[in-house]
A and B are shown apart, each in its own frame.
Chain A
Amino acid sequence: MCGIVGLFFKRGAATPSLGSLLAGMLSQMRERGPDSTGFALYGDEAPPGAFKVTLRAPDAGYDWAALEGELASSFPLARPVRQHGSHAVFTIGGDPEPVFGRLAQHHPELDIFGLGERIEVFKDVGLPDDVASRFDLVRRAGTHGLGHTRMATESAVTTEHSHPFSTGADLCLVHNGSLSNHNRLRLSLRREGIRFQTDNDTEVAAGYLTWRLRQGMSLTEALEAALTDLDGFYTFAVGTRDGFAILRDPIACKPAVLAETSDWVAMATEYRAIATLPGAAAAEIWEPCPATVYSWHRQ
């Protein structure tokens, strides 16, 4: 089944309640996806010339302080590490590639969940209320965020297979549905230099968008190309550094509801997740049309 949610504030610096509102939306989606929960937040920005990376360790007792010391000896750490049990957010100056090379060689136990100037990605097995609490979601601020509750169908129930998937800087994708040509597409995308960490179908869709964006397409163009190149059924919600986009497959197999007020745009698989938001009662509510990209950008 799966449930996806997205919340995008149109104006202002980070909204303090973004995290708690996103947690409320995710909680309403727990019945659609009891296997795992994930969310991506677009919060404080890395300083100029630096990037943020969300790393995930096999267990909550991982010695992040030791890793911080180790990385500091080779790379300029722009801010102290922020630890959240099995996940940690590092802010590092310079180019990400040498850092990834170092991690791949010396720390293969770590997964890279999110990379960019603003994005942070947290995902784990468990119900939304538990996962939100584990990563302190209710206290997080931000301008926009996406979330997902998973009912695994095409691959195993593990943290790595949870959504959101991020295969490009500040890009993330959550998906309700199931793709059927992802295995063949993964092979083609690997040849184009896209890296995959799992056999998950949604990760392929995320990689496909990353590839199209690298080719110079806009997000809208990349999503429109996806209508031709992806086979399956889907409602996608995509987050970018300053934006948010929605796409449903041409038959609109999976549900989607959009809502908009003067302050925010929200998307969810079911209206009851949107009903939790302030001002929802007066929001304009509609179902997005199939095969149509809806997108919003902050100025």
Chain B
Amino acid sequence: MVNPNGAHAIAVGLTVPVHVEIKGHVGYYCAGMNAAAEIVVDGHAGTGLAENIMSGSVRVRGNAAQSAAASGRGGLVVIEGDASARCGISMKGVTIVVGGSVGHMSAFMGHAGTLVVRGDAGHDLGDSIYEADIFVAGKVASLGADCVEKEMTPADIDRVAALLGCAQIVADTGRFRRYGSARRLYNFHIDHAAEY
């Protein structure tokens, strides 16, 4: 497809392993609910790129707007440029690899899956996160509620290396740090009432 001119809901709900190449900028929800297709956007993408992706892959050569891969359950989403606020919000198993930076509240309430960011992360990273894993090589402006830095094990480094390989993004794996849930909010405790 050429010249989408920012149209919304392009290549949504594909269930067969086809290759889709889109030349130009897309609007909202491009590749939403993708299951099995391989979709490439040679341009920028609007809000909700690959939201609720089930499987398959989505690659954006430019930048992605807010809520990229929101609620994604599987598959791979690669953003070569920057992703905006709330990247991976409520992610449920998708793998997201960002060559640039992510905006504030990325991986907000992330249930499962992995977010790898070669650049920086904005404020409130991983706010209210569940069991999604976040790896960031650059600076993190601040961590959200119940998100803490975790130990980066050799297995984690291998994992990051493998994901960068799938994404075809080159980075020094030694720079990545891991972030995830402190698990203090899973059960209510009066001492943490302020976090809710």
- A266 contacts chain B at the CB level, 8 A cutoff: no
List residues of B (14-30) whose CB comes within 8 Å of A's CBs.
Answer: 24-25, 27-28
**Residues from chain B with Cβ under 8 Å of A286 in the complex:** 63
Q: What separation, in Å, do the CA atoms of A274 and B85 have in the docked complex?
A: 21
The answer to whether A274 and B84 touch across the interface, beta carbons within 8 angstroms, is: no
Contact with B along A275-286 (1 / 0, CB 8 A): 110000100011
- A272 contacts chain B at the CB level, 8 A cutoff: yes
Q: What separation, in Å, do the CA atoms of A270 and B66 have in the docked complex?
A: 12
Among B5, B24, B66, the residue within 8 A (CB) of A252 is B66
The answer to whether A290 and B6 touch across the interface, beta carbons within 8 angstroms, is: no
- A196 contacts chain B at the CB level, 8 A cutoff: no
- A271 contacts chain B at the CB level, 8 A cutoff: yes
Q: What separation, in Å, do the CA atoms of A37 and B27 have in the docked complex?
A: 22
List residues of B (38-82) whose CB comes within 8 Å of A's CBs.
Answer: 44, 46-47, 63, 65-66
Among A272, A275, A276, A287, the residue within 8 A (CB) of B84 is A287
- A85 contacts chain B at the CB level, 8 A cutoff: no
- A96 contacts chain B at the CB level, 8 A cutoff: no
**Residues from chain A with Cβ under 8 Å of B162 in the complex:** none
- B7 contacts chain A at the CB level, 8 A cutoff: yes
- B111 contacts chain A at the CB level, 8 A cutoff: no
Q: What separation, in Å, do the CA atoms of A281 and B8 have in the docked complex?
A: 17
Beyond A255-B65, A255-B66, A287-B84, whether A270 also contacts B104 by CB under 8 A is: no
Q: What separation, in Å, do the CA atoms of A200 and B137 have in the docked complex?
A: 46
Beyond A252-B104, A270-B27, A287-B65, whether A275 also contacts B85 by CB under 8 A is: no
The answer to whether A271 and B46 touch across the interface, beta carbons within 8 angstroms, is: yes
The answer to whether B27 and A290 touch across the interface, beta carbons within 8 angstroms, is: no
**Residues from chain A with Cβ under 8 Å of B44 in the complex:** 271, 285
List residues of A (244-284) whose CB comes within 8 Å of B's CBs.
Answer: 251-252, 255, 257, 270-276, 281
Most buried by B among A270, A271, A287, A290: A271
**Residues from chain A with Cβ under 8 Å of B24 in the complex:** 281
Beyond A252-B66, A285-B25, whether A290 also contacts B104 by CB under 8 A is: yes
How many residues belonging to A are interface residues under a CB distance threshold of 8 Å? 16
Q: What separation, in Å, do the CA atoms of A242 and B7 have in the docked complex?
A: 32
The answer to whether B46 and A270 touch across the interface, beta carbons within 8 angstroms, is: yes
The answer to whether B6 and A275 touch across the interface, beta carbons within 8 angstroms, is: yes
Contact with A along B128-148 (1 / 0, CB 8 A): 000000000000000000000
Q: What separation, in Å, do the CA atoms of A283 and B76 have in the docked complex?
A: 29
The answer to whether A270 and B6 touch across the interface, beta carbons within 8 angstroms, is: yes
The answer to whether A255 and B47 touch across the interface, beta carbons within 8 angstroms, is: yes
**Residues from chain A with Cβ under 8 Å of B84 in the complex:** 287
The answer to whether B27 and A272 touch across the interface, beta carbons within 8 angstroms, is: yes
- In the complex formed, the residue of A with least CB distance to B64 is A287
The answer to whether A271 and B27 touch across the interface, beta carbons within 8 angstroms, is: yes
The answer to whether A275 and B104 touch across the interface, beta carbons within 8 angstroms, is: no
List residues of B (83-115) whose CB comes within 8 Å of A's CBs.
Answer: 84-85, 103-105
Beyond A252-B66, A255-B65, whether A271 also contacts B6 by CB under 8 A is: yes
**Residues from chain B with Cβ under 8 Å of A274 in the complex:** 6
Q: In the complex, how many angstroms separate the beta carbon of B57 from the nearest chain A beta carbon?
A: 23
Q: What separation, in Å, do the CA atoms of A271 and B85 have in the docked complex?
A: 17
Q: In the complex, how many angstroms separate the beta carbon of A289 from the nearest chain B beta carbon?
A: 8
The answer to whether B47 and A272 touch across the interface, beta carbons within 8 angstroms, is: no
**Residues from chain A with Cβ under 8 Å of B28 in the complex:** 270
Q: In the complex, how many angstroms separate the beta carbon of A7 from the nearest chain B beta carbon?
A: 16
Q: What separation, in Å, do the CA atoms of A120 and B46 have in the docked complex?
A: 32
Q: In the complex, how many angstroms separate the beta carbon of A279 from the nearest chain B beta carbon?
A: 14
- In the complex formed, the residue of A with least CB distance to B44 is A285
Among A252, A271, A290, the residue within 8 A (CB) of B25 is A271
Among A255, A257, A275, the residue within 8 A (CB) of B5 is A275
Residue contacts A-B, CB under 8 angstroms, 27 given: A251-B104, A251-B105, A252-B85, A252-B103, A252-B104, A255-B46, A270-B8, A270-B28, A270-B46, A271-B6, A271-B44, A271-B46, A272-B6, A272-B7, A272-B8, A272-B27, A273-B6, A274-B6, A275-B5, A275-B25, A276-B5, A281-B24, A285-B25, A286-B63, A287-B65, A287-B66, A290-B85
Q: Which residues of A contact B (CB under 8 A)?
A: 251-252, 255, 257, 270-276, 281, 285-287, 290
Q: Which residues of B contact A (CB under 8 A)?
A: 5-8, 24-25, 27-28, 44, 46-47, 63, 65-66, 84-85, 103-105
With A251-B104, A255-B65, A272-B27 known, 5 other A-B pairs at CB within 8 A are A252-B66, A270-B6, A270-B8, A271-B25, A271-B27
